[in-house]
Structure 1
Amino acid sequence: MRVGVLTGGGDCPGRNAVIRAVVRKGVQEYGYTFTGFRDGWRGPLLDRTVPLGIPAVRPP
């Protein structure tokens, strides 16, 4: 299954941790693939996407 990850923008404590947890669980447990959209709702409209795998969501 392919899953898109889109946030509404603005600051949100814990947002990165939630995205990281969803991607890790989805990839490891279910074999899903994830795509992130940059710039809120502009991302899907302007095709601003980023593949989200486990290496992409690792903390720096």
Structure 2
Amino acid sequence: MKNRKRIGILTSGGDCPGLNAVIRAVVSHATLTYDWEVLGISYATQGLLEGKATTLKMHGLDLRGIDPLLFMGGTILGTINLSC
């Protein structure tokens, strides 16, 4: 039996319009086309290092475009913009 693939998505830098739409598109395409599991990593690389990941699912996402996620600014995953 073949193992199911798993991918992670995180948003880093600063918020910008369209990040939630991209997250939605990745989850939609990965789950519906390839049956992959998608993990959302909260707060970019800090969340990756701390293991803050949650499974993102298509449940609640409306593929007809009537989805509140498309109208929300920023990113549902959170982001960190650290300066050195």
User: Which residue in the other structure is 2:26 paired with?
Assistant: 22
Q: Deviations over 1:14-42 (max 9, x none)?
A: 01001101111110111010001101111
Structure 1 position 9 matched with structure 2 position 13: yes
1:50: Cα distance to partner? 1.1
- The offset of 1:10, in angstroms, is 1.2
Moved over 6 A (4+): none
- Long gaps (5+) in structure 1: none
TM-score computed with the length of structure 2 as normaliser: 0.63
What is the number of residues matched between the two proteins?
Answer: 59
| Pairing 1:47–2:51 present | yes
From the CA coordinates, give the structure whose radius of gyration is larger: 2
Normalising by structure 1, what TM-score? Answer: 0.85
Determine which structure has the larger strand proportion and give its number.
Answer: 1
Which structure 2 segments of 5+ residues have no match?
A: 62-66, 69-84
One-letter code aligned to 2:25: A
Aligned-residue sequence identity (percent) comes to 41
Structure number with the higher helix fraction is 1
